[in-house]
Amino acid sequence: MRFYERVEEDLLAASIESQRADWVYATFITPDTEELSSAALARLIGTTVRYAHEATRWPKGSLSGATARKAELLPLSLPLPAPADPALAQELTRRVASMTGLYAKGRHTPKGEREPVDLQRLSRILTESRDPAVLEDAWTGWHRVGRAVRPEFDRYVDLANRGARELGFSDLGAMWRSRYDMEPAAFRREVDRLWEEVRPLYEALHTYVRNRLRATYGPALVPDRGPIPAHLLGNMWAQSWEGIYPLLAPPGAGAPVDLTRLLVERRTTAEEMVRYAERFFVSMGLPALPPSFWSRSMLVRPRDREVICHASAWDVDYVDDLRIKMCIEITGEDFRTIHHELGHNYYQRAYGHLPFLFRDSAHDGFHEAIGDTIALSVTPEYLVKIGLLPAAPPDEGAELGFLLERALEKVAFLPFGLLIDRWRWDVFAGEIPPGEYNRSWWDLKARYQGVAPPGPRSDEEFDPGAKFHIPASVPYMRYFLAHLLQFQFHRALLREAGWTGPAHRGSIYGSKEAGRRLEAVLALGASRAWPDALEAITGERRMEAQSLLEYFAPLRRWLDAQNRAAGSSG
């Protein structure tokens, strides 16, 4: 249909303009670049809204094939739904840009230091210190950034909801849930089903961690039952706990592979970290990154300006101008993050041949899961193959340690990945009023994560705003889904690679067979509903948690034994 040809031509041009302006803003934050970014985004949103309204001239039942798919995706392609009124659209994008900038410029001066430090430095304090007072100061200091964000947030909710309603959705949360090829209510039930599958494993891990932290910090700080104080878990949002692995290591397991030490000892540079990840994809038969990637990416924090350090992958021209934006540190965590970010770039390149509305993933969880699937192959065996490790640890204790450390990253994240959008869905629906934002946030944190703040938090605080994706208006359910899908993908690709051992030891590095299957799925983009894409890579049409449970089965047995011995179960 000629209408959709025109839509895609105009949206491609507007999207490229917005991407370029946003890149400049993210890598050089000034009032001018903020204004340019928000204005370009407003034009993109305005163009999309106009065409989404025009598309209603053709009833959905009158369309078929690729045209019907494009009609479904057009209103959902909006990065942020804004009202049709240009002034209101400009106001919405300006407020989101402002919130993102306030977050990026957040600083706190830790006790005993003279200069304010950024989120990266505060996060290192939470990982490295074992002094509860120091941990609480760093945690509380960063969370003050939410206060700066809060004045913009209420109006953002109102404007974004207005834009979603103009497109026929009840609110922004319902619009986000409509992106999964099912009705919003059905998607809620799907999320509940998946969470119930993994909840027992999370609770076993939570119980073990609480017992060990109680032994470290004492019963006055860590209760024998109930929530864990959030500042003790080694991460600013308690979303992953691998930073405190030394406190939790299985007795006699020894230290796990210290990837950070291996990288530092080799004097690895930020660019070399990225080269390792690129070689992983190339080993599976995928092409090397284009030269422009290396000249246009931001790999380290500049010394002369404010930037948004939150790691992200970019496809600026929606064909081959691929980039990543990171403030890389020479750590094992960043090594895995880079493998994840390049997963986005290789996905973007694979679907670059498709019509514009199909240049996206099957659903947003797929985009996140691809890179995470590659990161699951960052095993000791893989590190041996690339020359970073002389030999893989052979003993059972080391294997338990490896699984525990990975569970502290992957399993610990699951309830956090769920609750962020649970909270926003209720905010957008008006079920959580502004006066209860913070209380409801901590109610959900206690219900799903089993964590509590270091001390009383009033509704004058805005702790949700201390997480990047909330001021930046980035949907978060994708990460929950990705933490399940990556294990489904990993199991299927290991099978394709001919691996028959335990899933946690398998790596698809060097497997051309796995690479061919992976690239074929990436090339589908959003042209097919996600069950079709899932079937193409796994042979299954339903998202499930069984592959994750199988992966961690040896650890689950050990956790249950440890918790029984400690007399704890909840």
What residues are annotated to the active site? 341, 469
Q: Give the CA dihedral 232, 237, 240, 245, nearest 10 degrees.
A: -20
Assess contact for 375 and 382: CB atoms under 8 A: no
Contacts of 354 (CB under 8 A, 6+ apart): 523, 525, 527
Q: Residue 462: what residue type?
A: F
Name the phi and psi angles at 322, rounded to 5: -95, 140
3-state secondary structure of 306: coil
Which own/partner contact pairs does 533-539 have at CB distance under 8 Å and 24+ positions apart? 533/362, 533/366, 534/362, 534/485, 534/488, 537/489, 537/492, 537/493, 538/488, 538/489, 538/491, 538/492, 539/492
Assess contact for 452 and 232: CB atoms under 8 A: no
Q: Give the CA dihedral 63, 188, 345, 93, nearest 10 degrees.
A: 80
Residues comprising the chain, all counted: 570
DSSP notation for 308-363: --S-EEEETTSSS-EEEE----SSHHHHHHHHHHHHHHHHHHHTTTS-GGG-S-SS
3-state secondary structure of 231: helix
Q: Tell me the longest C-alpha to C-alpha distance in the chain.
A: 69
Tell me the β-bridge partners of 492: none
